[in-house]
Structure 1
Amino acid sequence: MTLAMSWDEWARHDATALAALVRKGALTPAELAAQAAAGIARTNPTLSAVVEVFEDVVADPSKDGLNPEGPLAGVPYLMKDLGPTLKGRLQEMGSRLMQGNRATADSFLTSRIRNAGLNVIGRTTTPEFGCCSSAENPAMYVTRNPWDTSYTTNGSSAGTAAAVAAGVLPISHATDGGGSIRIPAGATGNIGLKPSRGVFSIAPNLSDLSGLVSIQGCHTRTVRDTAAFVDACRGGAPGEFMPFWQPEEAYSTLIQRDPGRLRIALSHEWGDYRATPHFVAELERVGRFLESLGHHVEWALPQVDFRAAFAAQTTCYISNFAQTVNNLITARGLERPPEDLVEPINIRIWEAGLHTSFTERAKMQAVFNTTSRAFGAFFEDWDIILTPITALPTPKIGTTEYLTISDNPSVLDWFGNLWRNFAYTPLSNLCGIPGISLPLATQESGLPLGIQAQARQANDGLLLQLAAQIERALGGRWNDGRRPGIHVTQD
């Protein structure tokens, strides 16, 4: 098959540039879809990032309702196999229990994605129900990091992280209930924004009130693609419980200007959790770089009861996931999760959280409130807080203590192990504030290390402004201009 572009040319184009070529008539959506499908075929045998390619939509991008006038018209896009549903398509959530599960309707966000002109051509991998930090169950698939295939991508947006990093396509769907956009972006050298609450709808099956901590988003390789995606896909569906806000100015316009001089706090000591010395040194180096751009940078920390906050977050996850699992098994006429179809930790979460009392949830919500207020007070004095994306290095494939196939008998100990590694991302979900992972540092293993910036509620635009300023200062060379070893440009 003759492709529309060389692989080097393909990898140089972000989503915004591809859409511009389509608008000019230089390329068609079908040509872009064919190139992305070829990229999947080229990398997926090694990475296991993509569960399914929709061959009918590759052949005919208009088939499922792509808007040819959208700002990202014709750009191929992959949907994480969790979250928004696609009418008539499988959604199996990384679980043997859900094999053959087919959606009957598009989610509201799916309609926004299609209206933006994105062409959804397939599904990417996720751990079972998105619950753990790696899409790594040999009974399903093992998604590998394109920078070094002996390592995980982290998760739960694992396949998206691998596909974008490997140059398969410039933008792909991700979700984040405690870091699942930002953590895999950090380990694979992508840009990953978790927006504030009130940006992307999870209608019709959930709302910000019932979902509480989970939000939608994407991975990209350029800031302008992230801005374009948020601009095009944000907004609430009819009947939202929470207000969905609009910025005064489109992010695609805002990011063309540098922010003013920002007050940026560096931090890595979050309660009981600390980053490794190498990660701290990388954070300090990035802080000095931001000083060179004219910002004020020093160490500072919100006055948060971190132990209470992480305990409340654990209660939230256990009780939310227990209900998710219960809804899925009830719909199948089952009384409990079958051990041959549901992973051990997810069964233990179901057992531990199914009967969470209103009193326990009320205590959790009280801590959510005090934690959010503490971050709010902090952002009266600071514009940004900067952390490493994780406290510990990305695990190698087969490190089971982070996986829901773990044999750990204690759910609380299992979550405690997650927090030791992934300390810096979950509280932004608790508070509903935005956070972004930027590929600014390197782990000792050679893998990328994301540096996370967080800001006050609804200040997503400031994060993107800062990211765009950094991108310009780097000449667009995220990851020092390096590409991973598994990449569409590599034979």
Structure 2
Amino acid sequence: MKLVMNWKEWTNLDAIGLSELIRQKQITSQEVAQQVNLAIDAINPEINGIIEVFDDVINDPTKDGTNLDGIFAGVPFLMKDLGPTVKGRLQEMGSLLMRGNRPTTDSFLTKRIRQAGLNIIGRTTTPEFGLCSSAENPAVYVTRNPWNVDYTTCGSSAGTAAAVAAGIIPISHGTDGGGSIRIPAGVNGNIGLKPSRGVFSVAPYSSDLMGAVSAQGCLSRTIRDTAAFVDSCRGGAPGEFMPYWLPSQPYSELIRRDPGRLRIAVSHEWGDYRANPHIVAELKRAASFLETLGHHVEWIIPDIDFRAAYDAQTNCYIMNFSQVISGLLEQKGLERPPADLIEPMCIRVWEEGRDAPYRERAKMQKAFNDISRSLGSFFEDWDIILTPTIALPTPKIGTTEYLTISDNTSVSDWFENLWRIFSYTSIANLGGLPGISLPMAELENGLPLGIQALTRQGDDGLLLQLGAQIERALNGKWNSGRRPTVHVSSI
């Protein structure tokens, strides 16, 4: 293999930029795939974000049905090892229990991704079943933050965040059940959109409210890449249990113009949780920047029952997760999770939720309804809620209190630890709202800090429009133009 361009040129191109060169026949999709493979060989040993590369589609991007006439024209794409299935490829979900699991069909979203012209060339790391905040179990793998390898990428879209941040690939798949796109995007300096409920299908799975809490999406380095991904891959499969949003125009067109003057509510004191002083100062700086763009900015805390929201989200995770694990155990003829194959906190969560009575689910659903309607009312007066993506600094590798290898014997106390740091993202999953993390702030130690914007359900385009306005104002220099220590530009 040889380079089709130097690494500086590579770094300056997003996925749409690469696809334009392919369509102009300046480069081929095979050459682009080979360049990504060279980047993986050089960079992945330091960050350990990519589990496997599919050599056959490096050599022949059309082998699995990638549509080279799609908007992305064969640009390589990595799939998180959780969520949509890829026919004939391993999907091991970050778990020793699932070693060797090989789905036999493409899920609906996988087909849409291929039709959009994205060439699925490999899979990225995730914590076991996506439950915790970091892909960090030495028995499986440890994924590191390319800005400083002593720190975690957070999660659960861990490997995707690391690969995009390190410049290996411009766009990659993620899932978000409580912040798992936005949090790793925020701490790795990427753009991460969690779309509204009713944008991306998870068919043929999860046709219920608890399943719809988790959303599919991507992490990228430019707003236009994310907009093109949503435009090309959105939509419901036959038999969906809810309607799917259809915008009046493609987001790729919408983002070319600025939004009108927005009413932006800024907050960080959410119930029992609040950000540390430095993060609050960065939030204030971001809010002031939005004022210079002409928006009305005011410090307003949404009038919702935050404690009920966190309790409902915790119960949803416990009940949904336990049923998923029970289903996998049944497939394998097992009565309980093997202690040598499933991580300790995952077993405790399964034990906590496996026999939950229906009244607990009904209570959870009532809280979802009440809070969702309160948020809907809030967005009649405000267009955006602005928060940090996280409330506390990025943890160092080995901070086990946030991991499913934790020895904490209390499931509720373990979730409380998560809410304390990841305070602001899960409300979007509960309410079906879109949320985006934008790389426009910085922690005291120099690692990136994402700023999150939330808006009303179905108005994903407004978040992308605001993101594009900010991107133009920054001349495209997210993260103040800085790059991670581990990056393809250093090859």
Counterparts of 1:63-462 in structure 2, within 5 Å, are 63-207=63-207, 209-462=209-462
Matched-pair contact (CA < 8 Å) for 1:198–1:208: no
1:123 is matched by which residue type in structure 2? R
CA distance in 2, matches of 1:431, 1:229: 23
Instruction: Verify: 1:11 aligned to 2:8, yes or no.
Output: no
CA distance in 2, matches of 1:27, 1:476: 24
CA distance in 2, matches of 1:218, 1:282: 25
Matched-pair contact (CA < 8 Å) for 2:186–2:439: yes
Report the alpha carbon displacement of residue 68 of structure 1 after superposing the two structures with TM: 1.2
Matched-pair contact (CA < 8 Å) for 1:152–1:394: yes
CA distance in 2, matches of 1:116, 1:206: 23
Aligned-partner SS, 2:361: helix
1:322 is matched by which residue type in structure 2? S
1:119 is matched by which residue type in structure 2? N
Aligned-partner SS, 2:219: strand
TM-score (norm. length: structure 2): 0.99
Matched-pair contact (CA < 8 Å) for 1:201–1:207: no
Report the alpha carbon displacement of residue 445 of structure 1 after superposing the two structures with TM: 1.3
1:312 is matched by which residue type in structure 2? A
Report the alpha carbon displacement of residue 81 of structure 1 after superposing the two structures with TM: 0.2
Aligned-partner SS, 2:46: helix
The 10-residue stretch of structure 1 (204-213 or 107-116) with the greater mean CA deviation from structure 2? 204-213
CA deviation vs aligned residue, 1:300-346 (integer Å, no higher than 9, x gap): 11111111110011000000000111111110000000000000000
CA deviation vs aligned residue, 1:201-254 (integer Å, no higher than 9, x gap): 000122353513100000000000000000000000000001012100100000
Aligned-partner SS, 2:98: coil
Percent identical: 69
- The runs of 5 or more residues in structure 1 that have no matched partner are none
Aligned-partner SS, 2:97: coil
The 10-residue stretch of structure 1 (210-219 or 441-450) with the greater mean CA deviation from structure 2? 210-219
CA deviation vs aligned residue, 1:438-466 (integer Å, no higher than 9, x gap): 00100011100000000000010000000
Aligned-partner SS, 1:97: helix
CA distance in 2, matches of 1:303, 1:290: 23
- Shift >6 Å, 4+ stretches: none
CA distance in 2, matches of 1:57, 1:86: 13
1:58 corresponds in structure 2 to 58
CA distance in 2, matches of 1:100, 1:147: 32
Matched-pair contact (CA < 8 Å) for 2:206–2:212: no
2:372 is matched by which residue type in structure 1? S
Matched-pair contact (CA < 8 Å) for 2:196–2:432: yes
Counterparts of 1:460-471 in structure 2, within 5 Å, are 460-471=460-471
TM-score (norm. length: structure 1): 0.99
CA distance in 2, matches of 1:140, 1:131: 15
CA distance in 1, matches of 2:291, 2:13: 31
Aligned length: 491
CA distance in 2, matches of 1:2, 1:81: 28
The 10-residue stretch of structure 1 (368-377 or 154-163) with the greater mean CA deviation from structure 2? 368-377
Matched-pair contact (CA < 8 Å) for 1:197–1:208: no
Matched-pair contact (CA < 8 Å) for 1:209–1:241: no
- The runs of 5 or more residues in structure 2 that have no matched partner are none
CA distance in 1, matches of 2:103, 2:421: 34
Matched-pair contact (CA < 8 Å) for 2:2–2:35: no
Report the alpha carbon displacement of residue 374 of structure 1 after superposing the two structures with TM: 1.1
Report the alpha carbon displacement of residue 297 of structure 1 after superposing the two structures with TM: 0.3
CA distance in 1, matches of 2:109, 2:176: 15
1:266 is matched by which residue type in structure 2? V
CA distance in 1, matches of 2:212, 2:269: 26
CA distance in 2, matches of 1:446, 1:25: 40
CA distance in 1, matches of 2:101, 2:304: 42
CA distance in 2, matches of 1:436, 1:42: 30
CA RMSD of aligned residues (A): 0.7
2:279 is matched by which residue type in structure 1? F
CA distance in 2, matches of 1:353, 1:364: 13
Aligned-partner SS, 1:286: helix
Aligned-partner SS, 1:90: coil
